[in-house]
């Protein structure tokens, strides 16, 4: 089976992106399994530190291995926005395919130094490392007001090149205008900045965080400019909550979880399939 690096290289060469979908419950995971199996297309399953701790790193890693055997397609796990080095190491040891070290709150030199420390540990086990430069702000959820970004929050193309050269990181999460969460107004992407970062960091896999709620047109333009991985979390969480609320409201006497949760699984599968098509991911041969 192909590994994540091969798939990201193929994505860059052929101008498409791999979706990362975050989960913290089994029915969310089942929805993703359903989409991957239906379209025969690999995705990355993301767990933030909170999601990973809730699910259990050992448990989720074991489930993914079982799914690979059952569906005969690779599944990739990524620790999303890892800040705790002990947790990152645990994810590496348990078989995650990738870890994202989020050192964005540190000054440049410290961020680079910690990123290199993670690389030193993870690369021995062929785990891909995602670094982060710039501040990807906002939290998952629906918000009334847009997060205001300043020039200092956004990734500087020159700094991105310096960071990439200094650390030799595999993937780079960049701040180009998107924020976590969804907003009444549309999120804007600074395409000129993205294009410049892409030109200066040729060999790095560029990652777009805060992918929920971005128009198809903007997604396609971002992919054309070099984005190969797009993270989606809020849209998956919203489906989970909305479906559950509706189901509980409509079935006040029902106590069987598998009856209450089946629609969530189906709705998540539909959303993930929609995103995979939007990202024009090629099927895994
Ligand atoms: Zn993120």
Contact, 223 vs 17, CB < 8 A? Answer: yes
Whether residue 242 is contained in a domain is answered as yes
Q: Would you say 15 is a known binding-site residue?
A: no
Q: How far is the CA of 244 from the centre of ligand 1 (A)?
A: 25
Judged against a pLDDT cut of 60, whether residue 188 lies above it is answered with yes
Whether residue 62 is contained in a domain is answered as yes
List, for residues 136-176, the tens digit of each pLDDT value: 888 888 887 777 888 888 999 999 999 999 999 999 999 99
Instruction: Work out the mean pLDDT of the chain and round it to a whole number.
Output: 94
Whether residue 43 is contained in a domain is answered as yes
Whether residue 283 is contained in a domain is answered as no
Whether residue 284 is contained in a domain is answered as no
**Helical H runs in the chain?**
4-14, 26-39, 49-55, 57-71, 85-93, 108-122, 157-167, 191-200, 216-224, 234-250, 257-278
Cite the active site residues. Answer: 80
List, for residues 229-243, the tens digit of each pLDDT value: 999 999 999 999 999
Judged against a pLDDT cut of 90, whether residue 184 lies above it is answered with no
β-pair partners for 171: 130, 205
Q: Please report the pLDDT score of residue 284 as a whole number.
A: 56
Whether residue 260 is contained in a domain is answered as yes
Q: How far is the CA of 255 from the centre of ligand 1 (A)?
A: 35
Give the confidence band of 135 by pLDDT, cuts at 50, 70, 90. Answer: confident
Give the confidence band of 283 by pLDDT, cuts at 50, 70, 90. Answer: low
* Structural domain of 217: 4-278
Q: How far is the CA of 266 from the centre of ligand 1 (A)?
A: 25
Q: How many domains does the chain have?
A: 1
Q: How far is the CA of 209 from the centre of ligand 1 (A)?
A: 5
Contact, 46 vs 233, CB < 8 A? Answer: yes
Judged against a pLDDT cut of 60, whether residue 285 lies above it is answered with no
Q: Would you say 102 is a known binding-site residue?
A: yes
List, for residues 48-83, the tens digit of each pLDDT value: 999 999 999 999 999 999 999 999 999 999 999 999
Q: Would you say 181 is a known binding-site residue?
A: yes
Whether residue 285 is contained in a domain is answered as no
| CATH code of the domain in which 62 resides | 3.20.20.70
Q: Would you say 209 is a known binding-site residue?
A: yes
Judged against a pLDDT cut of 60, whether residue 222 lies above it is answered with yes
Whether residue 202 is contained in a domain is answered as yes
List, for residues 190-221, the tens digit of each pLDDT value: 999 999 999 999 889 999 999 999 999 999 99
């Amino acid at each position: 089976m192909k590994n994540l690096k091969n798939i990201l290289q193929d994505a860059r060469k052929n101008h498409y992106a791999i979706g990362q979908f975050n989960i913290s419950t089994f029915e969310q995971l089942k929805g993703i399994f359903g989409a991957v199996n239906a379209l025969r297309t690999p995705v990355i399953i993301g767990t933030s530190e909170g999601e990973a701790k809730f699910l259990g790193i050992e448990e989720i890693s074991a489930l993914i291995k079982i799914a690979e055997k059952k569906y005969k397609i690779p599944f990739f796990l990524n620790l999303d926005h890892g800040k705790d080095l002990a947790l990152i190491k645990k994810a590496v040891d348990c078989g995650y395919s990738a870890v994202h070290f989020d050192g964005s709150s540190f000054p440049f030199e410290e961020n680079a130094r910690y990123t290199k420390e993670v690389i030193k540990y993870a690369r021995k086990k062929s785990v891909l490392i995602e670094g982060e430069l710039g501040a990807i702000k906002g939290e998952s959820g629906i918000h009334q007001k847009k997060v205001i970004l300043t020039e200092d929050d956004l990734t500087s193309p020159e700094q991105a090149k310096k960071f990439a050269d200094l650390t030799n990181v595999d993937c780079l999460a960049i701040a180009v205008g998107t924020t976590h969460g969804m907003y009444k107004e549309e999120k804007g992407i600074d395409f000129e900045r993205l294009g410049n970062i892409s030109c200066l960091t040729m060999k790095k896999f560029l990652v777009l965080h805060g992918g929920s709620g971005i128009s198809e047109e903007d997604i396609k333009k971002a992919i054309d400019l070099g984005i190969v991985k797009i993270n989606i979390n809020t849209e998956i969480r919203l489906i989970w909550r909305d479906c559950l609320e509706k189901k509980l409201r409509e079935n006040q006497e029902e106590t069987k979880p598998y009856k209450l949760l089946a629609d969530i699984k189906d709705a998540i599968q539909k959303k993930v399939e929609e995103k995979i098509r939007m990202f024009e991911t090629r099927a895994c041969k």
